[in-house]
Amino acid sequence: MTSRAGSDTTTDRRTSGDGRRATPSSPSTATTTGRNGPSRCGSTTTTLGPPPDRRDPGASVVRPQPAGREIQSRSVEPIRVLHPAGQSSYLVGSELMKRVSEAWDRFWFTPESTSTLAVVRILFGITALGWTLSLAPDLMSFFSRTGVIPSQPSGRYWVGLLARAAPSWAVYALWAVLVAASVCLIFGLWTRLASILVFAGILSFERRNPFIFNAGDVLVRNLAFYLMLAPAGAALSVDAWHRAREKFWEFPKRAPWALRLIQIQLSVVYAATVWAKVRGNDWNNGTAVSYALRLDDLARFHVPTWISTNVALSNLMTFGTLAIEASIAFLVWNRKLRPWVLGAGVIMHLSIAINIMIGFFSMAMFVAYLSFVPPDTMDRLLLRLSGRLARSRSGLLRRLSSAPAIEPST
């Protein structure tokens, strides 16, 4: 039998000693044995017949293979056998993790229109400007070293530009910078720098005298921090107008993660508020709103006694407030229910702002509410506004051009 390297087919056509012709062997690849062990050439395994007749000197001697030994043409990858239940759990777990990862990326980083962020920036700039102007009457009394608190109270990680006993001119300078930065934030001029200065100024004044501020002031400071991180000047800003005047009413897409922080802040505020209220007695027995309406030092006007002392009305307003705050904390993430719960929140905060002097708390909450307006809805509203402004401007120009010229009197 002739052995050839490669994948040649070997056929034995010799006759055996008894004169019969041997049957052709099946196609195979020759296997030889050398010093380094068996060497394989080809891709199949040789099937050996009976040994050739030793009386024929021309016959090749092929040694039979040991029983149970297989000659493989290539290495076989190990097969991992999983239990059906374990394999199913693995597939379900990997699919779940994939969906969670995609939802996470979509929530935080999928680019969205910056129209909502632009409106939030404008209204927050107005809020920050009003907040700063409200400090003017008592600026020296509350924040200078000649005021009621000569130096900033000590606190862990309390930093600020007025941390030391600053002179009066430094307090005035910081206040003026905060006013200018708030105006720049409204119009979107040097937006990034303006947002940083607004946050630093608000933080410095609140740290300098924390005893005159409330939770609404803390919320104003937090909103300033989030806007400092956001691309707030991407749309409806002087910065955008300088970049491309013809694209002023276009809203480039950016990752909304900073806006998501504002949304989460709003939800956490309401959840923490409800949790703190239900742990007390006044909110559980339905009398909390009645007490609030009788705080004469905070009331904007006197509430009639038949309202503030009516048990049924007090219970209705107290439990209704808890229900609205709890619904905003959790149901605001539902797109279908969001307009209803936010509308109820607007009515509630308007009622609070009209009756009780609580500073800029309601205004800050309204700014946070705007972060939940879908970008496509805000796009339509702003484009409709731009169309009306364009028509009004063209109409004004036509009236001015058609007006008769006034000749100077002689």
> pLDDT category, 196, cuts 50, 70, 90?
very high
CB 115 within 8 A of CB 256: no
What is the pLDDT, as a whole number, of residue 86?
57
> pLDDT category, 164, cuts 50, 70, 90?
confident
Residue 220, pLDDT above cutoff 90: yes
Average pLDDT over residues 334-341: 96
Triad 217, 163, 167: Cα angle to 5°: 105
Average pLDDT over residues 193-215: 95
Mean pLDDT taken over the chain: 81
What is the pLDDT, as a whole number, of residue 212?
92
E strand map for 217-319: 253-254
pLDDT digits (tens, 9 = 90+) for 251-295: 999 999 999 999 999 999 999 999 999 998 999 999 999 999 998
What is the pLDDT, as a whole number, of residue 45?
43
Distances (CA, A) of 386 to 138, 148, 189, 191, 382: 41, 50, 20, 22, 6
What is the pLDDT, as a whole number, of residue 30?
41
Who wins on pLDDT, 61 or 183? 183
- Buried b / exposed e across 94-122, counting CB within 10 Å, b at 16+? eeeeeeeeeeeeeeeeeebbbbbbbbbbb
Q: What is the phi/psi pair of residue 154, to 5°?
A: -80, 145
Burial of 5 (0-12, 13-18, 19+ CB in 10 A): exposed
What is the pLDDT, as a whole number, of residue 116?
97
Residue 48, pLDDT above cutoff 50: no
Residue 102, pLDDT above cutoff 60: yes
Residue 193, pLDDT above cutoff 80: yes
CB 378 within 8 A of CB 119: yes
What is the pLDDT, as a whole number, of residue 301?
86
DSSP β-bridge partners for residue 33: 38
What is the pLDDT, as a whole number, of residue 167?
85
pLDDT digits (tens, 9 = 90+) for 26-46: 444 444 444 444 444 444 444
